[in-house]
Amino acid sequence: MKAFALLMPLLISSASFASVDIAGHWRSFRHEERLVRGDGPDLGDYTGLPINAAARQKAEAWDATILSVPERQTTPHPVTYAMNGPRPDLRIEELIDPETQILKAYRISGLYQRADERTIWMDGRPHPSDLAEHTFTGFSTGRWEGNVLVVKTTHIKMGFIQRNGVPSSPSATLEEHFVRHGDQLMSLFIVHDPVYLDEPLVRSANWKLAPALRIPARTRAEPAEEFGVMERGRIPHWPLGTVHDEFGKRFGISLEATFGGAQTMYPEWARSPATSTSPVPPKPKATSAVVPPQALEVLHVQGNVHVLAGAGALITVQVGEDGLLLVDSGDGKQNAAVLKELQKLSREKINHIINTSSDTAHIGGNAALAADEPEKTLLPDGSTGGSLAQQKAFIMRGEGAVTRSHENAATQMGRVTPGAPPTDRALLPNRTFFTERQLFAYNNEPIEMIHVPNAITTGDVIVLFRKSDVISTGELFSTMSYPVIDPKRGGSLKGVLEGLNLVIDIAVPLINQEGGTRIIPARGRICNEMDVVEYRDMVTIVHDRIQKMVADGMTLQQVKNAKPTLDYDGIYNHPIPGSNWNAERFVEAAYLELKAEAGK
């Protein structure tokens, strides 16, 4: 038994190492896809790519000038492209636990304009929750299957799979198979993307062992004014309906073959009599994914700030010695469960609630959470003591947490709408402001409430935690839905764009569009500036498309039939609980506003 006990740690340690050593310096060589991995492919060259109509529409709109927009100049290549992009010379290091001498991870350095070193975790840790932030390198875990290292990567920022605008979505995942043969290292890459690919994209890359290779220091790029002062908010793009046919004409390839698509990748397609010469392939009906009900989840953002998901709009939580401060209170349907989750963060009382909107998803928990007394037993109705009527009376006397909003939001909450029940007075804020900004300090941190006029409504507020470097945007920004513009309450597409550009002006990335200011949307995941840039660009491009259609005299139905949001529907056309808002309604709101602007 003693001999066996002494042998066990050795068995565990040796089993944790690979039977193949992939550590070292590796020089890339491009004997395949030299054009694609070098200067980049031509516009309109989608041959060999299993893309769908949404990806094709987005690629045809891509204009290389967009890379001169200041907030895009320092963007690194996403991992869906970087590992088989232009010359990724690599240093692969083993990260060994100093106590157990067990392999914890591989660290990869050398990717183009990398925001961070890439880590492949080998210790069996799970992938993060859906609420966690996405990065350009993603989150990778690996396992050895015989002599093959199999790596799975999730949580990848929106990017591309080819440098002529062919996109990859935030839902994309990457599967890699690394194999070593002597001084050669090969990797097979498989990109899965339910938004933009009909089938997995399969590619490979090769490296040769180069012990003398040295990896240069990380590039800390800074934006510059490349074309003079670019108009704020201008996003270069090709108009909807553009077809880049130059590549096919130059090489004598049929136009339809250049469009890509899973069907064009097989020999039988070229021999099929059904093959047409139509300049634009048919666009399938766009579908949106069904979002399953979400359980309550709390995740640390940074500094004093956490986020709670699953109770309506995301709830931002600041924690400190002064007590808890909430940005929004959820829809009020799970108040007791929300309070229990908050008590795990701190036993201090909730002393402040800021409402970014007058919508129920943001204010429904105001009364129950404002009356929070954590030391008391929570009742099924979400109150912290006494009956629900007593709880409301407590709030109506002005006791409990200070509830803040913009004056316009408070007016909207108190307004009686024919056919709809009035807002419970206990949910109304007890402190409002009507200026552009209001500042106060809490938990040793300056907090800035910034009015964003005429965006979703006239009462929208974003909240900046200056010390933690976190922005809570409310309905202005979402990673799952189009802007829910309400013109009856003063909302406008123009106001949304101005608000998004304001958030981009405030946010500062740490390095190469990674890290830095974290941003909490109304729905979705933790973000940074680049996610807002993607959203702002989407809204701008859709705005420009519809504006041109209005100028061309198209009717609303004709605009809808043209599918100006097709390339974004798989990302943003998710259902919002309790709302019938979707891509079609977003297009309608934009069309009516732009038509009124044009005086038509």
What's the pLDDT score for residue 512? Answer: 87
Element (H, E) at 9: helix 2-15
What pLDDT, on the 0 to 100 scale, is given for residue 35? 67
Residues in the chain: 600
Cβ(443)–Cβ(345) under 8 Å?
A: no
In angstroms, the CA 250 to CA 254 distance is 10
Contact between 68 and 230 (Cβ < 8 Å): yes
Tell me what pLDDT residue 11 has.
38
Check pLDDT > 80 for residue 417. no
- Chain-centroid distance of CA 313 in Å reads 16
* Highest averaged pLDDT of the listed ranges 5-14, 395-404, 408-417, 564-573: 564-573
Confidence of residue 5 (pLDDT cuts 50, 70, 90): very low
Q: What is the pLDDT of residues 335-368, one digit of tens each?
A: 999 999 999 999 899 999 999 999 999 999 998 8
Spatial distance between the Cα atoms of 419 and 486, rounded to a whole number of angstroms: 18
Task: Give the model confidence (pLDDT) of 544-569 as tens digits.
Answer: 999 999 999 999 999 999 999 999 99
The pLDDT score that the predictor gives to residue 282 is: 45
CATH fold of 6-39+75-209 reads Lipocalin (2.40.128)
For the ranges 4-18, 435-449, 531-545, which has the lowest average pLDDT? 4-18
| Crossing angle of the two packed helices 493-506 and 583-598, in degrees rounded to 10 | 110
Cα separation, 597 vs 430, in Å, equals 37
CA nearest 448: which of 466, 460, 421, 426? 466
Give yes or no for a contact between 312 and 270, defined as CB atoms under 8 angstroms apart. Answer: no
pLDDT of residue 269: 79
**377 has a pLDDT exceeding 50:** no
Buried b (16+ CB within 10 A) or exposed e, 470-479: bbbbbbbbbb
Structure tokens at 328: 């929004």
pTM of structure: 0.90
Q: What is the pLDDT of residue 450?
A: 98
Instruction: Return the C-alpha torsion angle 83, 84, 90, 95, nearest 10.
Output: 30
Angstrom CA distances, 575 to 39, 270, 467, 523, 546, stand at 40, 39, 34, 11, 23
| Residue 351 CA to its chain's centroid (Å) | 31
Which range scores top for mean pLDDT: 270-274, 412-416, 456-460? Answer: 456-460
Asked if pLDDT for residue 13 goes beyond 50, the answer is no
Token duo for residue 468: 């933690």
pLDDT at position 420: 62
Which tops the pLDDT comparison, 451 or 257?
Answer: 451
Q: Over range 383-408, report the average pLDDT.
A: 66
3-class secondary-structure state, position 125: coil
**Helices 529-551 + 493-506 axis angle, to 10:** 150
511-526: pLDDT as tens digits: 889 999 999 999 999 9
Specify the pLDDT at position 287: 45
Question: DSSP of 347-376, one letter per residue?
Answer: SSPEEEEE-S-SSHHHHTTHHHHHT--TTS
Q: Which two tokens stand for residue 392?
A: 């409301």
Taking the CA atoms of residue 63, residue 65, residue 68 and residue 69 in that order, the dihedral angle to the nearest 10 degrees is -50
Quote the pLDDT of residue 9: 42
Q: What is the pLDDT of residues 151-192, one digit of tens each?
A: 999 999 999 999 899 999 999 999 999 999 999 999 999 999
What confidence tens digit (pLDDT) does each residue in 22-59 have? 999 999 887 766 666 667 788 999 999 999 999 999 99
User: What pLDDT does 111 receive?
Assistant: 82
What is the average pLDDT across 587-598? Answer: 96
pLDDT over 90 for what percent of the chain?
67
Q: Residue 374: pLDDT band by 50, 70, 90 thresholds? A: very low
Residue 2: both structure tokens together: 């003693």
CA 110/CA 76 separation, integer angstroms: 12
Domain ranges of the chain: 6-39+75-209, 297-598
How high is the pLDDT of residue 290?
Answer: 41
Lowest model confidence (mean pLDDT) among 61-70, 191-200, 219-228: 219-228
Position 494 scores a pLDDT of: 96
Residues 525, 570 contacting (CB under 8 angstroms): no
Q: What is the pLDDT of residues 307-323, one digit of tens each?
A: 999 999 999 999 999 99
- ∠ CA(508), CA(511), CA(512), 5° rounding? 100
Q: How far is CA 123 from CA 95, 140, 144, 204, in A?
A: 11, 11, 11, 26
| pLDDT (0 to 100) of residue 227 | 62
The predicted-structure confidence for 446-470, as pLDDT tens digits, reads as follows 999 999 999 999 999 999 999 999 9
Average pLDDT of the residues of the chain: 86
Q: What is the mean pLDDT of residues 242-260?
A: 90
Distance CA 165, CA 41 (A): 10
On the question of pLDDT at 297 being above 60, the answer is yes
Instruction: Name the 3-class secondary structure at 440.
Output: strand
For residues 535 and 565, the answer to whether their CB atoms sit within 8 Å is no
- Are 192 and 173 in contact by the 8 Å Cβ rule? The answer is yes
Architecture of domain 297-598: 4-Layer Sandwich (3.60)
Residue 379 or residue 156, greater confidence: 156
Distant-in-sequence contacts of 497-502, Cβ < 8 A, 24+ apart: 497/233, 497/536, 497/539, 497/540, 497/543, 498/452, 498/455, 499/452, 499/455, 499/460, 499/462, 500/476, 500/532, 500/535, 500/536, 500/539, 501/232, 501/233, 501/536, 502/450, 502/452, 502/462
Residue 578 is predicted with a pLDDT of: 84
Please provide the distance, in angstroms rounded to a whole number, between the alpha carbons at the two ends of the chain. 90
What is the C-alpha separation between 272 and 425, in angstroms, rounded?
Answer: 68
Identify the pLDDT of residue 216: 77
Biggest CA–CA distance in the chain, Å, is 90
Yes or no: say if 13 and 193 are a contact pair by the CB < 8 Å rule: no
**Of 523, 524, 407, whose CA–CA distance to 461 is shortest?**
407
